[in-house]
Structure 1
Amino acid sequence: MDTKSLIIDTATKLFQQKGYIGVGLNEILKECNISKGSLYHHFPKGKEELLIACLQNLKQAITIDIEKIFEQYPTTQDAAIAMIEKIIKNLETEGTLTGYTFSSIVSEMALLSDAVRNACGELYQEIESIYFNKLTADGFSEESAYSIALMMTASIEGGIMLCLTQKTSEPLKTISKALPNLLNSNIHLVNA
């Protein structure tokens, strides 16, 4: 792994575990076993530039993972439940959801940095777009697909945060059980 990738991977994990404010550059340097000069060579603007690179890396990893799952299943309902089950499995086996959530970064930085807020917004939009495309393929109107995609994004991301704060996978299990009702009630509206 090259130095830049090492810095991004290490910083991403640290930011997700401790938040942006909770991680200092010295901690990143120590974890990567690199000099300050090496970090600034790759990220001349410092920690915020590194955070944006981490968010872009997360965006790619998360969206590729979601796209793969959504391509494997015939309906939005099946794909969303499979995705939630994968997140639950990771939480229950690893005790954390590093790699799946970035809400802590959003809550810390969204008001402090437009660049970070925009990077986070792009990731949420990408996730919603995957859901939206699958929903329209299922026959939902664009208006319904947009609303449901937004609700799915907010519910799943909120469920992840609740799982982390409560140290249980129950919130995501509840969302997984409720999701078919949301989709089925809207299918009846589509077919009416």
Structure 2
Amino acid sequence: MEPRKSPGSAPGSTPGRLVTTTAALLRERGFHGAGLTEILTASGVPKGSLYHHFPGGKSELAAEAVRQSAAGMVAALERFADRAGSTGAAVRAFCDRYAEDLAASDFRDGCPLAAVAAESGALHETVRREIGAAMELLVGTFARRIAAENPAHPDPAALAMEIVAAVEGALLLAKALRSTAPLKTVSERLAGRIAAELHPRGHPA
């Protein structure tokens, strides 16, 4: 699944500022914690402009922030995988980056997808649908990488789902405990598990 393009959302544009600000607040506070007034104040955008670009208001804006956050995560994952040369090393690099970001933000920032997904029972359908699509995009990206690394793997999608579930869970736990230990533990265990599955005869991962 490819991330959908959204017109008029360049970083310096009015919708771009709104989306960037919203994504940052979602990472820190989730959907319900990110107030519309705060979004407008932080982005420097008047309320009328928001509804001009996002007629659906906060829900449409949050859905776009989720879409772009997912696309950014996938782009980062692809870069890590290309540089690392293996899925296991890419997962380790991905977790290391998140651990650095968490520590740098004093454990305020997390993953916008996980933060919003935790509120799924009380979300507008527009946002809930985009969260589902974003998670599917992440799982699909890992599955494609797994299949490319070991075409004989019996179930790339299942392993990919396990990776995404473990990393997203570790992010939530790390934020709650104010410790990067969950991310470090999960990254090391996952890297070993992935290497063992993709290279069962001890070939380099």
Is the shorter-chain TM-score for this pair beyond 0.5, marking a shared fold? yes
- Residue by residue over 1:88-130, the C-alpha shift from the partner in whole angstroms, topping out at 9 and shown as x without a partner, is 2222233347474421211213553332222111111111122
Which of 56, 66, 82 lines up with 2:67 in the alignment? 56
Residue 55 (structure 2) pairs with residue 44 (structure 1): yes
Distance 1:75 1:139, change over 3 A: same
Give distance in 2, aligned partners of 1:4 and 1:47: 12
> Does the aligned pair in 1 maintain the 2:27–2:111 contact within 8 Å?
no
Residues 119-161 of structure 1: CA distance to partner in whole angstroms, max 9, x if unpaired? 1111111111221122112215454311111100000000001
Distance 1:12 1:77 in 2: 27
* Identical-pair percentage: 25
What is the CA distance between 1:46 and its match in structure 2? 0.9
Q: Does 1:83 align with 2:90?
A: no
Question: 1:41 Cα shift?
Answer: 0.9
Letter in 2 for 1:63: V
Larger fraction in helix: 1
Match of 2:21 in 1: 10
Asked if the contact 1:159–1:171 (Cα under 8 Å) also holds between the matched residues in 2, the reply is: yes
What residue ranges of structure 1 are gaps of 5+ in the alignment?
Answer: none
Q: TM-score, normalised by structure 1?
A: 0.88
| Aligned counterparts, 1:146-157, within 5 A | 146-157=157-168
The equivalences for 1:145-184 within 5 A come to 145-184=156-195
Q: State the match for 2:139 in structure 1.
A: 128
Equivalent residues of 2:28, 2:108 under 8 A apart: no
| Distance of 1:94 and 1:21 partners within structure 2 | 20
The answer to whether the 8 A contact 2:170-2:186 is kept is yes
2:40 matches 1:25 = no
RMSD: 2.2
Structure 1 residue 189: Cα displacement: 6.2
Q: Which residue of 2 aligns with 1:107?
A: 118
CA contact (8 A) 1:62 1:100 kept: no
Separation in structure 1 between the aligned mates of residue 152 and residue 132 of structure 2, nearest angstrom: 24
